[in-house]
Structure 1
Amino acid sequence: MRRLPLLALVAALALGGCTSPSDGEPPATTPSTSATPTGTVPTETVPPDPGPDPRVGECHALSFGQAVAVVGRTAPVPCRRRHTAQTYFVGRLDLETGAGFTRRVDSRAAQRQARQACTTRLPQHLARTPRELRLSMARAVWFTPSPRRAEAGADWFRCDLVVVAAPERLLRLPRRTRGWGDTPAIAMCATAAPGTPQFARVACGGGHSWRAVTTVDLPGRRLPRQAAIAARMEASCRDAARAQADDPLDFVWSQESPTREQWDAGQRYGICWVPA
C-alpha cells in the first residue's frame, strides 16, 4: 500500500484505484453507408459499446503498475492460472449530481465513492478487522470504466484484492481468497529494522528479519512531533515486544511513526516492530 511507505502504498494503491489504457476497447467504428435509388447516402450510427461488467470472483494477472492505475477494465484470467488480483465486490457509481450534470468516472467524487466502498468491504472479505489488516500486506485496489465506456453507459466499479509481496511486486494469490486474512504469509514483515537504509516492507512469506506486531493510534488532526509520538508508542511497543520474546527480561523492539505523506493519506497510527 507501491516500497512505498505503508499508507503511501495505500495512497498509491488507492492511493488506491485504476488509469489504464488496457481497457479492451474496440477501435472506433466507421459509419456504414449504402446507395439508394434516389442517390442519397443515409448514415447508420453504431451505438458505442459499454463493454461487459466485471463479476465477483474473477481473477486478474495484474502487474504492480496496473494495480496502481484507476480507470479501465483488465481482462480476467481463469483462477486456476497464475493471478495476482481477485475481484471481491462490484458496485455502481453514482454519477448524477444534484444540478443535473453527470460526473466523469475519473472525477474525485467518483473515485472517492469507489475507494470508500472497496476499503470498507475488504476486512469482511478477508474475515479480519480493519485494525488487524493494518499488520497485513493485503490491499484494496479499484477500477472504473474508461471515459469512453462510461459515455456508452458503463457505470460499474470493481474492487480487487492484491497482496504486496515486496516493493513493486505482487504476491500470487490462491483460487479463493474469502476468509484468507489470517494467513501468516501475507502478514507485514521487513527486510531490516525500521529507520535503516535496508528497511523495506515485505510479506512474511518471503525473506525477512523483522515483523510488525501491533499498532498504536495517534490522536489529533495534525501530525504530532516525533518526540510526542515516541512517548505515546513506547509503552505499547515495549509490552508487545515483551509478549513476543523468549526472555521477558531481554528483548528489543523498534517504533515506526507515520511520515507526513502517510499521515495526509490517512494513516493515524504508528507501528511496533520486533526481530523475526
Structure 2
Amino acid sequence: MRAVLALGALVLAVSGCSSSPTEPVSDSTPSPSSSATAIETTDPPDPGPRPRVGECHLLSFGQAVNVVGSTEPVTCKRKHTAQTYFVGRLELETKAGHVRRVDSRAAQEQARSTCSARLARHLGRTPRELRLTMARSVWFTPPPKRAEAGADWFRCDVVVVAGPRRLLTLPRATKGLGDAPAVAMCATAPPGTPAFRRVGCAAKHAWKAVSSVDIPGKKLPPRTAVADRMDGPCGDAARADAADPLDFTWSQESPTQEQWDAGQRYGICWVPA
C-alpha cells in the first residue's frame, strides 16, 4: 500500500497615491489634493490541521491505498478502520537548498520507511512476526493545496486487511494488537489454488501462516530456486506445529514479482489449521 506535494507565501499588496504642493498657492487655486493610502491584505493560505497520534479514521480499502490527501478523523468510540500511530515531518529541503514536493520519490520513501519501521513496535510484535499478520501500515501526505500552504507532515496509520479489498473494524486502541486472532494471517485454501483467499484467523479458514523464509538477492530468483530454499525451513515449521511430528503437511508461498518489487523479500510457510 503506497503513497504520494512547496511552501505558500503571504501576499501583501500596498497601493495608494499622494500629492503635495511645493509652492504657495493663491486663493484662486483649488485646495491641495488630499493624500490617501489604501492597504489590501489577503489571508495566508491555510495549511490545515496537523494530524495527531491516536486519531481514528473510517477508511475504505481504496482510501487506504490512495495515501494522498486528508480524511477527517472520527471518534474512536465509533466504527473506524484506521488509527494514526505516528506523525512525522517530511524532510523537504535538500542539501542544495531546493525544496522537494511532498509527492517526490524521496519524500514518499521517507514516509514509507518510517511508517513501516514503527508498525511492529506499535503492535507489540517483532518485524518477522509482523510478516504473519494482516496488519499493514499506510501513510498519508498533505493534499496539494495544503502542501502549497506549508503543510509538511506525514501520517502513519495502521489498518488490518479482513479479506479481499476489505478492512477490519478496529478497537478503540490498537497498541499491542498484534497478537489478536483477527490480526493473524490465515487462508481459505492452500496457496496457489483457485480458492486461496487471505483472511484474518478470526474468520472461517482452513490454513494458517506459521513461518517466513528470507530470500536473498537483488532480483527475484527463479521459482524452483525459491522453492528449494523454502522447502527445509517450511518442513521444520510444519513439524514443530504438528501434533504428530511424523505426520504433517505444509505448503509454501513464494513472493510474486509485484510483491518483490514492493519490498517483500521473503516467502511464507503454511500448514492446515
Which of the five TM-score ranges fits, normalised by the shorter chain? 0.7 to 0.9
Q: In the alignment, is the contact (CA less than 8 A) between 1:17 and 1:67 conserved in 2?
A: no
Give 3-state SS (helix, strand or coil) of 1:207's partner. Answer: coil
Query: Greater CA deviation, 74-83 or 183-192?
Result: 183-192
Q: In the alignment, is the contact (CA less than 8 A) between 1:18 and 1:141 conserved in 2?
A: no
Question: Which residue identity does 2:162 align to in structure 1?
Answer: A
Task: Pick the structure with greater CA Rg.
Answer: 2
CA RMSD, Structure 1 to Structure 2 (Å): 2.0
Question: 1:98 deviation in Å?
Answer: 2.1
Q: Residue in 1 aligned with 2:3? A: 17
Q: Residue in 1 aligned with 2:192? A: 195
Are 2:55 and 1:69 equivalent residues in the alignment?
Answer: no
Q: In the alignment, is the contact (CA less than 8 A) between 1:85 and 1:173 conserved in 2?
A: yes
Question: 1:39 deviation in Å?
Answer: 9.8
Residues 154-165 of structure 1: pairs in structure 2 closer than 5 A: 154-165=151-162
Q: In the alignment, is the contact (CA less than 8 A) between 1:18 and 1:68 conserved in 2?
A: no
What percent of counterpart residues are identical?
Answer: 70
Query: Greater CA deviation, 162-171 or 96-105?
Result: 96-105
Q: In the alignment, is the contact (CA less than 8 A) between 2:187 and 2:197 conserved in 1?
A: yes
Residues 247-262 of structure 1: pairs in structure 2 closer than 5 A: 247-262=244-259
Query: CA–CA distance in 2 between the matches of 1:242 and 1:258?
Result: 23
Structure 2: segments with no counterpart, 5+ residues: 6-33
Q: Residue in 1 aligned with 2:270? A: 273
**Match for residue 130 of structure 2 among 124, 129, 133:** 133
**Match for residue 227 of structure 1 among 220, 224, 236:** 224
Question: 1:218 deviation in Å?
Answer: 1.2
Q: Which TM-score applies when normalising by structure 1?
A: 0.85
Number of residue pairs aligned between Structure 1 and Structure 2 = 247
Q: In the alignment, is the contact (CA less than 8 A) between 2:102 and 2:142 conserved in 1?
A: yes
Query: CA–CA distance in 2 between the matches of 1:177 and 1:53?
Result: 21
Q: In the alignment, is the contact (CA less than 8 A) between 2:85 and 2:158 conserved in 1?
A: yes
Question: 1:225 deviation in Å?
Answer: 1.5
**TM-superposition CA deviations, 1:43-101 (whole Å, max 9, x none):** 43221111010000000001101100122111000001000000000010111112222
Question: 1:248 deviation in Å?
Answer: 1.9
Query: CA–CA distance in 2 between the matches of 1:147 and 1:106?
Result: 9
Q: In the alignment, is the contact (CA less than 8 A) between 1:119 and 1:140 conserved in 2?
A: yes
Are 2:51 and 1:54 equivalent residues in the alignment?
Answer: yes
Q: Which TM-score applies when normalising by structure 2?
A: 0.86
Question: Which residue identity does 2:73 align to in structure 1?
Answer: P
**TM-superposition CA deviations, 1:22-57 (whole Å, max 9, x none):** xxxxxxxxxxxxxxx989976432211110100000
Query: CA–CA distance in 1 between the matches of 2:223 and 2:151?
Result: 47
Query: CA–CA distance in 1 between the matches of 2:214 and 2:178?
Result: 21
Query: CA–CA distance in 2 between the matches of 1:193 and 1:245?
Result: 17
Query: Greater CA deviation, 64-73 or 80-89?
Result: 64-73
Q: Residue in 1 aligned with 2:85? A: 88
Q: In the alignment, is the contact (CA less than 8 A) between 2:234 and 2:252 conserved in 1?
A: yes
Q: Residue in 2 aligned with 1:205? A: 202
Q: In the alignment, is the contact (CA less than 8 A) between 1:215 and 1:272 conserved in 2?
A: yes
Question: Which residue identity does 2:139 align to in structure 1?
Answer: W
Are 2:93 and 1:107 equivalent residues in the alignment?
Answer: no
Question: Which residue identity does 2:173 align to in structure 1?
Answer: R
Give 3-state SS (helix, strand or coil) of 1:78's partner. Answer: coil
**Match for residue 141 of structure 2 among 138, 141, 144:** 144
Q: In the alignment, is the contact (CA less than 8 A) between 2:61 and 2:165 conserved in 1?
A: yes
Residues 27-42 of structure 1: pairs in structure 2 closer than 5 A: none
